[in-house]
Every structure is written in C-alpha cells, then in structure tokens.
C-alpha cells in the first residue's frame, strides 16, 4: 500500500469556513477522496456526477465520499449545492494536498488532445463549464484512504478528464473492508 506521508496533515477548508486536517476525513472510516481540477470545470462536474450516482455503494461499504477542490469557499459551496448536495466538499486554495499526492499541473495536460476529447465527451453528456473557479491548469486524482493513513487505491489524472474507473475504486474499498 502507498502512504503519502504529508497528506494527512494537509489543512483544507470545510464549507463552514473551518480549517480542518485532511487526515481526519479517514481517521475512523475509509474515505474515497476525489481531487477536482477546479470547481467550475465541466469535467469535474462529470466526475462528481458519476461518483454521486455510486455514493450509496460507497457508504454501504463503510466509506465516505469527499471532494477536494482548490477554488474560493463560495465556489466550493456552489459546487456542493449544484453537483453533489450532501457530500463532503473541501477546498484547498494553497494546493498542499495536491502537492502531497503528486497531482500534475500544466497546460499541456489541460489543453492537450486527451483533455479536449474529454471536454467534448462531458459537453455531449450535458455538463457545462461555469467559469474558472480555481487553478485552471491543475489536475486531480482519486484516492481510497483508510484509518491509520493507509492508501488502498491511488489514481492521478494524466490529463483533464482522465478519471479512474469507479468500479476499480469500489473494488479497492471492498478489499480494504
């Protein structure tokens, strides 16, 4: 199992405005943590929708679904209200947790052919960009984190719209239980 040593101590902001320790999200139970590119991204909305549809399965396996973005708090609140009501949404404007997981950043991974194709896919599925609401060239990832700061699954997006298969995420959560 992987262990990103700095990740649990990263400080993020909850929708209440409270600064929280990210590792507390999985201190007592597993967490599926989805790092978003930014809160206005149509690709992130697509990913959030896919995870939201499987939220009951995640919870039935003892996990908690957590989204981490990097924009302003107001945008995090809007994202939660519009894309994943009732889910745990946090923001990391300093990008510390993104650095801890080794998330990619750059325009080549954002605007390259794979990112453009993913954008067309998401647009065709009805998702729309609502502006740049965070760091526009930041990529995300998905981790399954377990109590004891253990990593059961890690996926870093190679480009905008590069999302892991949710079944693989759920298999990791299932295997950890």
Domains and CATH numbers, the chain: 7-176 (3.40.30.10)
116 forms beta bridges with none
Q: Compare 127 and 2 and report the one with higher pLDDT.
A: 127
Across the chain, mean pLDDT equals 88
Q: What is the pLDDT of residue 4?
A: 58
> What is the model's pTM?
0.87
- Using the structure block, give the residue that is written with the tokens 């991204």: 41
Return phi, psi of residue 49, to 5°: -60, -40
90 and 65 in contact (C-beta within 8 Å)? no
Instruction: In whole angstroms, give the CA distance from residue 173 to residue 64.
Output: 10
Mean pLDDT of 148-172: 93
């Amino acid at each position: 199992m992987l262990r990103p040593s700095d990740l649990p101590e990263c400080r993020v902001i909850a929708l209440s405005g409270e600064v929280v320790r990210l590792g507390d999200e999985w201190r007592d139970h597993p967490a599926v943590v989805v790092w978003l590119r930014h809160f206005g991204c149509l690709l992130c909305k697509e990913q959030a929708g896919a995870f939201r549809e499987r939220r009951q399965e995640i919870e039935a396996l003892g996990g908690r679904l957590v989204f981490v973005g990097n924009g302003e708090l107001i945008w995090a609140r809007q994202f939660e209200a519009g894309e994943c009501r009732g889910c745990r949404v946090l923001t990391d404007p300093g990008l510390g947790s993104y650095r801890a997981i080794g998330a990619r950043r750059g325009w080549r991974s954002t605007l390259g052919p794979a990112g453009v194709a993913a954008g067309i896919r998401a647009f065709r599925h009805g998702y729309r960009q609502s502006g740049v609401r965070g760091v526009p060239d930041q990529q995300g990832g998905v981790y399954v984190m377990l109590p004891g700061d253990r990593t059961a699954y890690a996926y870093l997006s190679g480009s905008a719209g590069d999302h892991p298969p949710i079944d693989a995420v759920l298999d990791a959560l299932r295997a950890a239980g």
